Every structure is written in structure tokens, then in C-alpha cells.
Amino acid sequence: MEPDLTTSIGPIQLNKPVMLASGILGISLDVFNRLYRSGAGAVVTKSLSTEPWEGYPNPTIFSVKGGGWINAVGLSNPGAENFAKMIEPNKDVPIIVSLVGSIPEDFEKMIQQFENCKVAAYELNLSCPHVAKVGLEVGDDPELVKKIVSTVKNSTNVPVIAKVGLGTTHYLNTVGTAIESGIDAITAINTVRAMAIDVETQRPILSNKFGGLSGTPIKPIALRCVYEISSKYDIPIIGCGGISTWEDAVEFFLAGASAIQLGSAIGDNWIDVFDEINTGILQYMEKKNYSKIKEMVGLAKKL
């Protein structure tokens, strides 16, 4: 049988397993269409808030020597209402809407804005490491995670994903709480809190001092997290963190992910990277005689 790139993430069905991660290029329907035609199985929007956020002043991003980026954009976005109007004409692209907020009512209000939109899933940002009172500060509070996930699940029939990261609460406990509250899938992981200092000015480089490290330096950490989640819980997983080649993608499948997300790799290889990774995965499946992505998922745990 010819290999097939379709994959299932719980109730979410995708034609291809490689997705755009939240935070990069996720702000325009024209761009979404272009990414989809370039091989993205789905696109995740920038994280949206109840009201427009301006974000931090420059500098907001720094290229790390040896690979990777540290960014503290500050979750700048046009707000859920404005964004929903922008994607309302969408008919074809599987769009996963990323949401960020501080209390359950924030998420409930934003979901109402998308009632007339074609949304494949919602991804709850419980892990942004550089903005106060949202992201990791929410993910580190299990009781708040429970209330948010329960509220969102009661507000929509659209699948809901929780994006977790490395904060002060063990991420496996956050995953466990989200699962108990009815989450449909987990994205692991977000960027890792980090910083850089200019030795001439002797000051932090980013205006916010701290940002999130992404790209190849965090891939082994993200891979370990996917493996640990897959080993402890029976929940569909989307791998995210430092993936830039088809070999990276296959590693995440073998660790337990059913799909993967790209972010920093686009900065190095532009959107051609989607087709390159899809082609590499197909060739690997042919070589190993796999017909479905799911045949590879979690195999590394069996050795």
C-alpha cells in the first residue's frame, strides 16, 4: 500500500502531519492559504486576546549564536473579534485558533467571536513564558487550568488542545489536569524562558529582558517531553520545539506525537520547509514499509 500522510489528532483529521506553530506568520488569511498550498496540514494562528494587544517595544527578537531565537514579542495581536472577521471567508484551510487569557470568561468570550468561522480546533496557550498573568502563569495554576478547560469545553463542540510548557509547576501535572478536565489533545512544548545580555552595553538585549528560546536548541527537550507525556497518558500529542527536518519530525512520531508544528524553521528555510519535510516523511515510510503515520507513533517506547 502506498504511504499516506493523513493523520488523526483525536477528533482532528489532517491531510498532512506538518503544521504551522502559533506565533509566526499566523495573522493573515492570504498567508494561511499560501501555507496550506505549500504543504501545511493546518495553521495555528498567533495567540489572540479579548482585546488588541500592542506587544513589547523593540528589540523583541534575538538570533542565538549556534542556532535558535529568543523572542519577547509580547503576544501582539489584533484581538479575537477583529481576527474572527478576517478569517470568516475561509472555506478550505484547517485553521487552529490560539487563545490566551487570564480567566475562564476570557476564553468563553473569545470563542463566541468565532461562531461564524470555520475553525478546526482551539489551542489554549497555557505556556507563553514572557507575558504576565497569562500563558505559563496560568499553566502553573492547576486549579485555573481545570476551570479554563472545563469552561471552554462547555462553550464549544470544536476540539480543544492545550499547549503546555516548562514553568514552575511540573508540566506533566498540567497535562494531567487538562486531561481530567476534558481536553482533546496536547501540544508540547512552547518556547523556554531565556535571555541574552549585550556585553558592550552590559544590559539585557530584549526590551522585556526575558523571552522564549525556540529553534534547534530546544528540540531534545521537546522530544523528551513528548516521550514522557506519551508514556504517562493516553492522549493525542502534537510535537513542537526545534523541528526543522523530516528526521526531526519522525523522531517526534516515534516518541508519541501524531503531528508536529514548525516555527523557527520557517525563518531559516521559508515555507518550502513544509514540502521538504512531507517528502522526507513519505520517503522514510516507503523505506520502512509504513502506510500510515499512526504506525510510527510511539514506537520508540517499545524498544
Per-residue cell: 23:
506565533
Question: What is the rounded distance in angstroms from the CA atom of residue 97 to the CA atom of residue 22?
Answer: 9
Cβ proximity of 122 and 185 under 8 Å: no
Measured CA to CA in angstroms, residue 57 lies from 48, 54, 209, 286 at distances of 18, 9, 11, 48
Closest by alpha carbon to 48, among 20, 75, 24?
Answer: 75
Cβ proximity of 77 and 83 under 8 Å: yes
268: left (phi over 0), alpha (psi -120 to 50) or beta: alpha
Residue with cell 521537546: 222
204 SS3 class = strand
Q: How many Cβ atoms sit within 10 Å of the Cβ of residue 133?
A: 9
Cβ proximity of 86 and 79 under 8 Å: no
Question: What is the rounded distance in angstroms from the CA atom of residue 109 to the CA atom of residue 65?
Answer: 42
Catalytic-role residue among 117, 128, 225, 240: 128
Q: Which residues contact 91 (CB under 8 A, 6 or more apart)?
A: 118
Q: Which residues contact 10 (CB under 8 A, 6 or more apart)?
A: 159, 184, 185, 235, 236
Question: What is the rounded distance in angstroms from the CA atom of residue 125 to the CA atom of residue 178?
Answer: 12
Beta-sheet pairing, 95-99 with 42-44: parallel
Residue 128 is a catalytic residue:
yes
Q: Just list the catalytic residues.
A: 128
